[in-house]
Amino acid sequence: MKRERHRRPEHNPVACHEEVTVHTPFCRLLVSLLLLLALSLPASPAAAEPVPTVAVDGQVLDLPAAPLTANGRVLVPMRPIFEALGAEVLWDGTSSTVSAVRGWDVVRLTVGSRQAYVDGRVVTLDSPPVISNGRTLVPVRFVGEALGAAVEWEPSSRVVTVTTPPPVPLAAPSLSSPRRFALQLKLTFVNRGDTAALTVRVPVWTSNSPYQEDGELRISPAPAGMLVDDYGNRTAIIRVEDFRPGHPVTVLVERELLNWAIVSPPSPVSVETDGFTARELYLRPQALIESDHREMTAKARELKGTLTDAGAIARRVFGFVSLHMTYDPSSRYAHKGALSALRTGRGVCEDYAALFTALCRAAGVPARVVSGYWVQAGTSLGSAWNDASALGHAWAEYYAPGAGWIPVEPTVTTVGGPKVVPWDCFGRLGQGGHLATRYALNQGVEYQVSGYGRLDPVLTKWEGIRALR
């Protein structure tokens, strides 16, 4: 019978290390001292990353606050980057919304929201705008690209390079000598009830048409915020917290502007792109501009035929509207919109403009309604304020690549005899003045009253116009 020899287990340094136990008070004190010493030693400082810098067309921006990085995106103070890209900044503190308006481009962002709007299109952001140390910061890549710039990030130097595209030369229209005007909107509210608070939303006149240049704007009381829609139309929000009975509150909006007559229309130049990013926006249907209705699309196909040029299509639409429509201010036909105008052939200037716009959009040509005032040639305006309520008017514009927005005046009636197409009003605006105030069908004034007890506000409205030297 074999006897097995007892084998001594091999030394395992790992196992022995794992099983070490401190048995003596001295050892325990030594371990405690070593741990305390290790904790008290200063950590090796990590190399701090440099703060990102932003350069627009080679010029480093002087930012009032340091940029931040979030989710791999660089956020910068909103005003310097927007203004460097040639955009006007509008801030609405009531909704924490910032809007950038440059020509026909409108970009809207809301603090804390990943949903932004570019010319009416919804865009999801990787990183939303934030407020840091009292300043609103926006993602620089999104802002730059939304306004047509190229944005590059250099990780090693932490530099954001923004390059704007060179301007495309457009064929300018031939203009008359400019005339200066001032417009005034005065709203007076009287509270015949109990003490309340008053909120007024009032349209603010603005334009980006080639025949007008906006001047000084005055609003009183100072607005609490300014809203801008997808088409660049602005609305001031005015609040009066102490709307006391018997104490009238007056809201005043005044705008100065330069206005030209268009002697001859622009001639489109051959370009593949001219930077017009809002094409899709001006092809959409809107209230009273029913460009997607089957009757409208059928008529647009008939008028378009085999034409592909925007100017030729718009010219054919203009001819149809001029011959199809009869001016009729009766309540049955006035202010009913494009579809009613197509079906009945009757309406007022807004209906003429809406029908032209809807047919152009249905045929693939961007178009818009313009609301404002028409000072006809020979109208005498002095330096004193004149009642402008009877001068309210609407016309239209279509967009041609390489030429920009081209106006048309479809509301020209023929007195006696057969109808004729007023071709002098296609691409031209006569002497006097077409004063653009809004790119939409006319919008009224909205107001809200809140408080306790009986509320009975009374509104009086005054629209004024005068000539300036």
pLDDT band at 17 (very low <50, low <70, confident <90, very high): very low
pLDDT at 324: 92
Question: Which strands form 249-259's sheet, in the order they lie side by side?
Answer: 212-220, 249-259, 179-191, 457-468, 386-387
Q: Of 369, 438, 377, give the one whose Cα is nearest residue 410.
A: 369
pLDDT at 358: 98
Decide: 23 and 45 in contact? Cβ < 8 Å.
no
Decide: 394 and 463 in contact? Cβ < 8 Å.
no
pLDDT at 221: 93
Distance CA 239, CA 201 (A): 9
Domain count, the chain: 3
Are 142 and 189 in a shared domain? no
Are 107 and 227 in a shared domain? no
Looking at the domain assignment, is residue 46 inside a domain? no
pLDDT score of 28 more than 80: no
Are 250 and 271 in a shared domain? no
Long-range CB pairs of 69-73 (<8 Å, 24+ gap) are 70/127, 70/130, 71/126, 71/127, 72/126, 72/127, 73/126, 73/127, 73/139, 73/140, 73/141, 73/142
CATH of the domain at 326: 3.10.620.30
pLDDT score of 343 more than 90: yes
Are 353 and 324 in a shared domain? yes
Distance CA 326, CA 217 (A): 37
Are 237 and 371 in a shared domain? no
pLDDT score of 27 more than 70: no
Peptide bond between residue 329 and the one before it cis (omega within 30 degrees of 0) = no
pLDDT in tens, 130-167: 998 888 999 999 988 888 888 888 888 888 999 887 76
Percent of the chain with pLDDT over 90: 34
pLDDT band at 269 (very low <50, low <70, confident <90, very high): low
Cα angle 143-60-92, degrees, rounded to a multiple of 5: 35
Q: Which domain holds residue 336?
A: 262-438
Distance CA 110, CA 114 (A): 8
Are 289 and 385 in a shared domain? yes
Are 143 and 86 in a shared domain? yes
Percent of the chain with pLDDT over 70: 81
Looking at the domain assignment, is residue 183 inside a domain? yes
Looking at the domain assignment, is residue 11 inside a domain? no
pLDDT at 331: 94
pLDDT score of 16 more than 60: no
Alpha-carbon separation of residue 237 from 70, 166, 199, 220 (angstroms): 33, 37, 7, 11
Looking at the domain assignment, is residue 44 inside a domain? no
pLDDT band at 34 (very low <50, low <70, confident <90, very high): very low
Looking at the domain assignment, is residue 141 inside a domain? yes
Are 157 and 60 in a shared domain? yes
Distance CA 340, CA 347 (A): 8
pLDDT at 292: 97
Angle formed by the axes of helices 349-362 and 310-324, nearest 10°: 140
Regarding pTM above 0.85, the answer is no
Are 347 and 222 in a shared domain? no
CATH of the domain at 143: 3.30.457.10
Lowest average pLDDT, out of 199-208, 244-253, 355-364, 445-454, goes to 445-454
Looking at the domain assignment, is residue 124 inside a domain? yes
Q: Of 183, 189, 203, 190, give the one whose Cα is nearest residue 251.
A: 189
Looking at the domain assignment, is residue 4 inside a domain? no
Are 284 and 388 in a shared domain? yes
CATH of the domain at 218: 2.60.40.2250
Residue 107 φ then ψ, to 5°: -120, 130
Q: Identify the three-state secondary structure at position 3.
A: coil
Looking at the domain assignment, is residue 211 inside a domain? yes
Are 366 and 276 in a shared domain? yes
Are 329 and 342 in a shared domain? yes
